[in-house]
Homo-oligomer: A and B are copies of this chain.
Amino acid sequence: MPLHHDGPLARLRRGHEELVLGLLRKHGPLSRAELGRHSGLSRTTLYDIVGALVDSGAVVATAPAAGERRRGRPVETLTLHPEAGQVIGIDFARRAVHVAAINVAHEVMGSAGEAHEPDLPWQERVDVAERLVGSLAGGTLRLGSLGAIGVGVVGPVQDTAAEEHDGTEPRRDLPLLLRKRFGVPVLVDNNTRLAALAEATWGAAAGDQDVLYLRLSHGVGGGLVVGGSLHRGAYGLSGEFGHITVEPDGRRCSCGGRGCLETVASVGAVLEAHDGADDLPTLLADPAAATLLDGVGAKVGTVLAAVCNAIGPGVVVIGGELAEAGEALFGGVGRALAADLMPISRNRVDLRPAALGEAAGALGAIALVLHESPLLARYPASPDSEEHT
């Protein structure tokens, strides 16, 4: 009964690429010989790795000016492609498009968003995205230099694509649509999971290794960072906290189940349960909604406690529009956590509001494209990219 090995050579190669890119980011331009010394890789391996990175456009090899050449073969200098680092992320939420972009130094160049009707056709959503991208950084973003686009979408993103969960036309054409429009590869993932990635990379849980992210919005979902890696689940359906049963005899849920957390803690469910408010800001400003919000918080906390006992995260981040309720909601969450978390764990789970607001999904889509975060070390490169279309 030998132990199983999970492609150590493939993992090693990926590690080598990350090492080379990291050294070039840290040291600036280096020769192959310098890279060899810093990396500890053999000449053969290094040339292979560098060749692939140059082919992919991530790294540029520059020959020295004539005057600088030494005898023999000129020594090329390797640098990160100055524009390959420009990445945009687009979050196609249920009722809005959000975009964000970063430059080669991985600084956010800007983000923007625009609400739309939930039934807006995909073609027009892509129009909105293109316009928003064009507006970023005062229009200085050169789309010709993009390396890739990361995209967040609503609902499960599965290995074998294509179930449609937001009631409009099939989403499966989206990557192709975007690829035609922007001319670069497109990586797609669930936008809530991407928001979790963003919060754990740059937001409320930056640097934490075990993070549970819950989003209370028009839908209720979440994402997990588990042992320092964004978790996807065996078939692309992890983090579905919104579909954990909280009321066995409760209302029918959009997922087909009954009494899911989403039937209680979504924006729509909360609005429906409260008289006298047509939108969430009005409801949140109404003192009469306090009991409702506290009860919703308790249901949320019950689900979070069960998941925390199972997974043991150090940080729980709650985002989405409903999290704007603040203490009115978080009070109930904390009470239920105190009741249902294992006593030994109670002081170990840190409850925090999300920090990145509505740009989180777009920022997470960027992190997905960069794919160099340790959070993605064991994450599939492209769970639902355009080759599936």
A residues whose Cβ falls under 8 Å from a Cβ of B? 1-6, 8-9, 11-12, 15-16, 18-19, 22, 25, 36, 40-45, 48, 105-108, 156, 163, 201-202, 206-210, 222, 224, 226-229, 231-241, 243-245, 255-258, 302-303, 305-307, 309-315, 339-345, 348, 367, 370, 372-374, 377-379
A-B residue pairs in contact (CB < 8 Å), sample of 9 = A4-B206, A4-B373, A8-B19, A40-B48, A41-B41, A163-B344, A244-B305, A303-B306, A378-B378
Q: In the complex, what residues of B have CB within 8 A of residue A341's CB?
A: 257
Does A6 contact B42, Cβ atoms closer than 8 Å?
no
Q: Contacts A40-B41, A306-B310 known; list 5 others, CB within 8 Å.
A: A4-B201, A227-B229, A228-B378, A245-B305, A303-B306
Interchain nearest-CB distance for A384 vs B (Å): 15
Q: Which residue of B235, B236, B241, B342 is within 8 Å of A255 (Cβ)?
A: B342
Q: In the complex, what residues of B have CB within 8 A of residue A156's CB?
A: 344
Q: Which residue of B19, B106, B233, B235 is within 8 Å of A12 (Cβ)?
A: B19
Interchain nearest-CB distance for A102 vs B (Å): 8
Does A342 contact B311, Cβ atoms closer than 8 Å?
no
Does B3 contact A314, Cβ atoms closer than 8 Å?
no
Does A310 contact B307, Cβ atoms closer than 8 Å?
yes
Interchain nearest-CB distance for A242 vs B (Å): 9
Copies of this protein in the assembly total 2
Does B244 contact A306, Cβ atoms closer than 8 Å?
yes
Does B234 contact A310, Cβ atoms closer than 8 Å?
no
What's the Cα separation between A5 and B378 when bound, in Å?
A: 14
Q: Contacts A2-B106, A206-B4 known; A236 to B201 CB distance under 8 Å?
A: no
Chain B minimum-CB-distance residue to A243: B342
Chain B minimum-CB-distance residue to A36: B42
Q: In the complex, what residues of B have CB within 8 A of residue A234's CB?
A: 208-210, 312-315, 348
Chain B minimum-CB-distance residue to A44: B40
Does A255 contact B307, Cβ atoms closer than 8 Å?
no
Q: In the complex, what residues of B have CB within 8 A of residue A370's CB?
A: 3
Q: Which residue of B9, B22, B311 is within 8 Å of A5 (Cβ)?
A: B22
What's the Cα separation between A348 and B2 when bound, in Å?
A: 27
Does B19 contact A309, Cβ atoms closer than 8 Å?
no
Does B245 contact A302, Cβ atoms closer than 8 Å?
yes
Does A343 contact B256, Cβ atoms closer than 8 Å?
yes
Does B227 contact A342, Cβ atoms closer than 8 Å?
no
